[in-house]
Each structure stands twice: as structure tokens, then as C-alpha cells.
Amino acid sequence: MSAIFSFGRLAALLAKEAIQMRRDRITFGMMFGVPLLQLVLFGFAINNDPKDLPAALVTTSHDHYTRAMVSALELTGYYRFDYVVASKAQGEALIENGAVAFVVTIPSDFARRVERGDRPQILIEADATDPAVASGAISTLGTVASQALQREQSSEAQAARQAANALEVIVHRRYNPEGITQYNIVPGLLGVILQMTMVMMTSMALTRESERGTMENLLAMPASPVEIMLGKVLPYLAVGAVQVAVVLGAAKLLFSVPFVGSIWLLLTGVLIFVLSLVLLGYAISTVARTQMQAMQLTFFYFLPSLLLSGFMFPFRGMPGWAQVLGELFPLTHFLRVIRAVMLKGADYPAVHGEMMILGLFVAFFAAVALLRFRRTLD
């Protein structure tokens, strides 16, 4: 060695690393993809003050006072009345299955009580499983409703002032009346923890075999691709079971999160969700060449699913295109299932749509993994 340090040797090493990075397309793509992804998601998709929220109107009257109330609520930008129903049971079903965020009930004698100055009331029930969704919409209710009623009675100023003062807006925060954040976060953490661990561990299933040089022995075995896939992913279901027990136990003992639904329905949803995750991880392992690439692809998937699923930020607060992307992640549908079962006591008909979608993810990821499986090392 002619010298302790040589700029020529350093330049040669830097050139070698540059060529290696250029060949590693996944790593090279991550260098540009992750910052761009974060900029787009945080800059355009994230919104902590969701508006244009779906609502249901329960009323049997169509007088001008009722129309004034509905118009005033819509003009706030928070409410979008997609449903008009005539019974409380119909409104209850809509808020339970997550179709609406609010149920606004205007009594049939509302107009008569306004004209008599007999303390008219309107009831607004908000789905408070995610406290951030309802907070902005609820904070504007009293002022907006009173002003709308006053404008409608403008021809009789004195009566208007009395009616405005007497108007009572009753707000029920359903499923989480105290607005406790842990009731929303802790159930969602189960899905996040399962996704982070299941996808990452199974994504290294085949890449670990390749790096250790044992892939030849695996391919030489008289086993079909389906058998190899099941042999790789099924053991991780036991790991997922342990994590489910730990998180649910902590939710009950440490955070006192209510559990009002069926444990068997919840466990069925967890099983389908975990199965979709391990199959997704296995599909990633058929694409990645090394364990590092598998980890990078897992992270690239994990970031948008975390931001667009409704775990960290209100799902309904995102623009339409972001909600469409969010529907492509199993975590989005699992969060709806677990929050509905744990906090709302939802039964199978209320969550069967989300369960069916999770089942479709299982079939899709399994098909991709089997199509990508290679019987040779070429």
C-alpha cells in the first residue's frame, strides 16, 4: 500500500457504489419516491377539519322552518344530507353501519312549537368513534340553528328573538360521549401493529431463503407453490394471535376501552385481515431480491396505508381521490370493522360489506403470490 489515504482509491470506491445504487432500482426509487409521497399526502390529502360529511335527516314534516334548519346546516359546509328517512330506526341503522356521520332529527311538531314560542328542539346524533370528525361540525350548531330560525321569523322581530333564545339543540355524541381519544386510537392500533409486523416478517420469507442459499433445497422439495406458500405464512398466524391477545388485553385493562360487540365476530375479522397481510408480505417477497429490498417495499406500502386509512387523520376529511386510494388498503376496512364491533356493538349485517372486501384482498394477494412464484433461481 503506497499511502494511508488515496483520492484515487476513494474515487474508485465511490464510482463502484454509484453503479451498485443504480443497479438496485428499488433502493434508487425509494430515494425519490418516499419524499414525493410524503409531500403529496401531507400537502393535499390530510385535513384535520373534515367537511361535507354525510348525514341523515329524520323528519315527517316539510314545513318552511324545517327547510330553513336543513339549509342552514348544509351552508356550514359540514353537513351533506344524503338520506331523508321517516323513522328513528332507519337513522339508527345508517349511523351504526357507518353510512352517515350525523343523524339530525327534527320533530313533527317543530313548526307548531316555534310559532307558539314553546321551546322547539332539534336532535343531532354524531358518530363520535372518531372525536376529530364531529368536533368542528358540533361547535357551530347552536349559533347556526338560532340564526336560521331568526331569519325565518324576521317579520315578527320580538317573536323571533324569543324563539331564538328558546331554541334548544340537543347533541348526542354516540359511542364515545366523553370524546376520549383512546377509544378511537387503541382499537386502530391493533390493525397498525398487525400490519407492520405481519407484512414485514412474511415479506422476508423467500428473500431470506435466497440470501442464505437454501432456496435450492426448497425448490427441490416435492411441494407445490400453494404448499410452499402456506408453509411460509401459516406459522405467522400464531404470532398474530399473540399480538391480538396482548393489544385487546391492554385495551381493556389499561385504557378501559369498551367492548360491546361480539368477540367471535371481531376475531373472524382479525383472522381475515391477518391472512390478507401475510399473503401480501409473501407477494412482496416474490418481487424483492434481498431482505433490504423487502423491508423497503414494506415501508413504501406502510406509509400511505397508515395516512390514508383513517387511523391518524379523519378518512372523510380527505379529498375524493385520496379516499379512493385509501379504499385500496386492507387496513382501511379493518379499522371500520373493529371500531364498529368494539364501540358500536355492530352485528354481522352491519359489517359484512367490509368483511367481504377483506376476503377479496385475501384472494387477490394469494393469486399475485402464486403467479409471481418462481420454480427456478433464474
Packing angle, helices 225-253 and 263-285, rounded to 10: 130
Angle at 192 between CA 347 and CA 297, to 5 degrees: 130
pLDDT value for 42: 67
Of 174, 196, 215, the one marking the end of a domain is: 174
pLDDT value for 4: 76
Phi, psi for residue 15 in degrees, rounded to 5: -65, -40
Of 174, 203, 231, the one marking the end of a domain is: 174
What cell was used for 167?
331554541
| Amino acid letter for position 115 | E
Burial class (CB in 10 A: 0-12, 13-18, 19+), 170: exposed
CATH number at residue 131: 3.40.1710.10
Of 174, 208, 243, the one marking the end of a domain is: 174
Phi, psi for residue 108 in degrees, rounded to 5: -65, -25
pLDDT value for 144: 60
Number of domains in the chain: 2
Same domain (yes/no): 162, 195: no
Same domain (yes/no): 244, 264: yes
Answer whether residue 251 is part of any domain. yes
pLDDT value for 164: 47
Same domain (yes/no): 162, 286: no
Answer whether residue 26 is part of any domain. no
Same domain (yes/no): 193, 60: no
Same domain (yes/no): 62, 80: yes
In terms of residue numbers, what domain contains 203? 181-372
Same domain (yes/no): 242, 112: no
Same domain (yes/no): 154, 240: no
Same domain (yes/no): 211, 165: no
Answer whether residue 343 is part of any domain. yes
pTM: 0.80
Give exposure, 329-361, as e/b (b: 16+ Cβ within 10 Å). bbbbbbbbbbbbbbbbebeeebbeebbebbeeb
Answer whether residue 197 is part of any domain. yes
pLDDT value for 226: 80
CA distance 129 to 89: 20
pLDDT value for 353: 92
Angle at 105 between CA 101 and CA 107, to 5 degrees: 180
Low-confidence ranges of the chain (pLDDT < 50): 155-156, 159-160, 163-165, 376-377
Same domain (yes/no): 250, 130: no
Answer whether residue 18 is part of any domain. no
Same domain (yes/no): 351, 278: yes
Same domain (yes/no): 190, 166: no
Q: Are 72 and 144 in contact (CB under 8 A)?
A: yes
pLDDT value for 137: 66
Same domain (yes/no): 368, 237: yes
